[in-house]
Amino acid sequence: METVYYTVQKLDGDYAVLLSDEGVENRVARALLPEETDEGVRLKCEFFSYMVVDN
């Protein structure tokens, strides 16, 4: 499984709209994201686990 980096574009109710570095938009349930997730935060996804990064 490859590592993918995202930027949180928008929080929309129970979902977050993420934009990958490759330009692919993805909607993810907020329950799967770290508690500190907010708009503009960078996330790293590995093996379907998300973590906040300081890139």
Picking from 9, 7, 10, 13, the residue whose alpha carbon sits closest to that of residue 50 is: 7
For the cut 90, the answer to whether the pLDDT of residue 3 exceeds it is yes
Sorted by where each begins, the domain ranges of the chain are: 4-53
Total-model pTM: 0.90
pLDDT of residue 25: 97
Reported confidence tier of residue 54, pLDDT bands at 50, 70, 90? confident
Q: How confident is the model at residue 5 (pLDDT cuts 50, 70, 90)?
A: very high
> Is the model's pLDDT at 55 over the cut of 60?
no
Tell me the mean pLDDT in the region 6-25. Answer: 97
CATH architecture entry for 4-53: Beta Barrel (2.40)
CB 16: neighbour CB atoms within 10 A? 24
